[in-house]
């Protein structure tokens, strides 16, 4: 199989953009991923700002990836855009804002598929429903349904998404796989499974394929793990912070 064939069989998903070379979940990281032809998908994390805008950031608090403090949910989207979300990674990225989902959709539309993870570690059930509704509204306004998967660890959140946008493709994120799981996904209306790469197996992949569910292995960064996955013949997606390492692993397997 050629490089191209193996990359088609194992599409690369840039985790939070090219987060190995740029600050995660920023426009800089997404632009870098879009510039690499081997990257077929971008994964990103979405939360709600205080004023109900879906914004792209992983943690519920601001401390790790911005120069701000406190909770994301306590700041408006405009206030979040004024924070520095890049300087922590390297001074050359200073001034990168916390982007909105709408900004990322405008950047990536027609150029790359998106896996949009909704972060639902909030304890308030109403907040989760608000996040699902607001995300569905942004995707509807952008007229994007093809090439987009909206995923979550929370099946209830996926149910909210199904209610607000029945045509959206949904993905469940899981840390393990048990026999029969693919059938459960199908009954839930879920056709995409993001699975911890350590739980990936030929049996799980075969079962998911029979039920029409695509599988993405998350999040693979060590070279030895990438090499092992590149050698597997079954089709699946690979989510990594380092698309260059994945491309090198594929080329090594081929040559």
Q: Catalytic positions, please?
A: 15, 58
* Structural contact between residues 112 and 34, judged by C-beta atoms closer than 8 angstroms: yes
- The residues, any chain, with a CB within 8 Å of residue 55's CB and separated by 6 or more, are 46, 47, 48, 49, 72, 77, 80, 98, 99, 100, 101
- As a whole number of angstroms, the distance between CA 142 and CA 100 comes to 13
- As a whole number of angstroms, the distance between CA 148 and CA 153 comes to 17
Q: Helix (H, G, I), strand (E, B), or coil: what is residue 97?
A: coil
Both tokens of 59, joined, read: 């943690």
Both tokens of 77, joined, read: 């989207």
Within a 10 A sphere around the Cβ of 191, how many other Cβ atoms? Answer: 17
Alpha helices in the chain (DSSP H): 3-9, 27-34, 77-81, 101-108, 125-141, 155-164, 181-188, 202-210, 223-230, 243-254
- Which residue, chain included where needed, has tokens 């209610």? 163
Determine the angle formed by the axes of helices 125-141 and 155-164, rounding to 10 degrees: 40
CA distances from 163 to 46, 116, 122, 167, 174 (A): 19, 17, 20, 10, 22
């Amino acid at each position: 199989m050629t490089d191209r064939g193996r990359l088609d069989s194992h599409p690369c998903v840039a985790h939070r953009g090219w987060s190995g070379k740029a600050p995660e979940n920023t426009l800089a990281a997404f632009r870098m991923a879009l510039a690499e032809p081997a990257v077929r998908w971008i994964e990103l994390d979405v939360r709600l700002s205080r004023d109900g805008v879906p914004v792209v950031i992983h943690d519920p608090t601001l401390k790790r990836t911005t120069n701000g403090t406190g909770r994301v949910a306590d700041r408006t989207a405009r206030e979040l855009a004024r924070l520095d979300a890049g300087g922590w990674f390297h001074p050359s990225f200073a001034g990168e804002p916390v982007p909105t989902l709408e900004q990322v959709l405008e950047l990536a539309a027609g150029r790359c598929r998106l896996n949009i993870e909704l972060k639902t570690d909030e304890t308030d059930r109403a907040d989760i429903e608000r996040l699902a509704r607001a995300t569905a509204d942004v995707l509807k306004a952008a007229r994007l349904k093809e090439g987009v998967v909206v995923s979550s660890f929370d099946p209830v959140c996926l149910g909210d998404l199904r209610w607000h946008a029945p045509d959206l493709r949904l993905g469940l994120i899981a840390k393990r796989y048990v026999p029969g799981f693919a059938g459960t996904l199908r009954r839930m209306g879920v056709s995409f499974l993001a699975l911890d790469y350590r739980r990936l197996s030929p049996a799980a992949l075969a079962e998911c394929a029979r039920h029409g569910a695509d599988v993405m292995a998350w999040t693979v960064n060590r070279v030895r793990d990438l090499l092992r996955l590149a050698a597997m013949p079954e089709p699946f997606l690979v989510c990594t912070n380092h698309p260059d390492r994945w491309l090198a692993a594929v080329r090594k397997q081929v040559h």
